[in-house]
Structure 1
């Protein structure tokens, strides 16, 4: 005798998922930068130096100096020269008085006449330091103005677009259980 068997057939449920990815777009325009630069300025002014040359003493040493100074010197030496001249005349007189010794003083004195003429120096003292030189330098005048840089920056906000993603979940196949019963012979 055969034993009837029940057949069970089962199918599982299948879930289907269909997704759409999220989209995100971010865009930011570049910032606008305005730069304004003021140039630095530099002004330099150099005044000329001053040179003073005093050659009064050099001209005086060459007897080309001040007339009043030369006349003063002549006046001061005149008395001394007059005394020297008187002294020479006395000396010549003494020589002529010695005529008895047989000498001839008159031709000798005539020959010495030019040599005995007194030197009359009315020029000033000569020296290598007679010219005075004085130089006055002037400092340069420097003025400056610092320049600068001005920045003007305009920023722009970011533009953001977001599209959310989707997840669609559906039942692709339903679950099922199927029982198949054997045929039972009810006659006995």
Structure 2
């Protein structure tokens, strides 16, 4: 027995999509910078300092100072010399009064009388403190006028390049339906 058989086949449609991303290219060139710096106006002024040297005490110690000062130094020693002379006379008198001393008092006194020792000091003591040094520095006068720098900057515009993306949609496979009627033998 032959019967009819209905056969239906179908294919689905397929959509294809291709994309390409957009891209941006940005370049930023460096700006132009110009700096001009003039030197500052500077004025320095300094008076010379004062150096004072007093060597009068050193010349007096050498006996070469002012004449009146030298005479006054000798004159000021006289009272002590007189007192020393009186003390020497008293000492010599006491020596002569010692009659129990076996040595000859007059010979000793005569021998000491001929000594040339002078008790007057004609020069002063030598010392580095005799020269006095004094220095007075003068302050330095400083005047500075600053000058501002001249800064020039020219910016450069950034460069943009845009590459647009794309989307391509297409039909990759069409949909279809196949309907067939065929005979069908049940026993075969």
Deviation of the 1:171 alpha carbon: 2.0
- Alpha-carbon displacement from aligned partner over 1:50-108 (angstroms, at most 9, x marks no partner): 14132x3444455533345567789998xxxxxxxxxxxxxxxxxxxxxxxxxxxxxxx
Structure exhibiting the larger radius of gyration computed from Cα positions:
1
Aligned 1:85-164 pairs, distance under 5 A: 126-128=124-126, 131-138=130-137, 141=140, 143=142, 152-164=152-164
Alpha-carbon distance in 2 for matches of 1:23, 1:170: 23
CA-based RMSD of the aligned residues comes to 5.1
- Alignment gaps of 5+ in structure 1: 78-114
Deviation of the 1:5 alpha carbon: 0.3
- Alpha-carbon displacement from aligned partner over 1:135-156 (angstroms, at most 9, x marks no partner): 2152673848579877654443
Normalised to the residue count of structure 1, the TM-score between the two structures is: 0.51
Secondary structure of 1:10 counterpart: strand
Normalised to the residue count of structure 2, the TM-score between the two structures is: 0.51
Alpha-carbon distance in 1 for matches of 2:175, 2:75: 156
- Alpha-carbon displacement from aligned partner over 1:27-72 (angstroms, at most 9, x marks no partner): 1112333344566879696945614132x34444555333455677
Deviation of the 1:178 alpha carbon: 2.0
Alpha-carbon distance in 2 for matches of 1:19, 1:74: 126
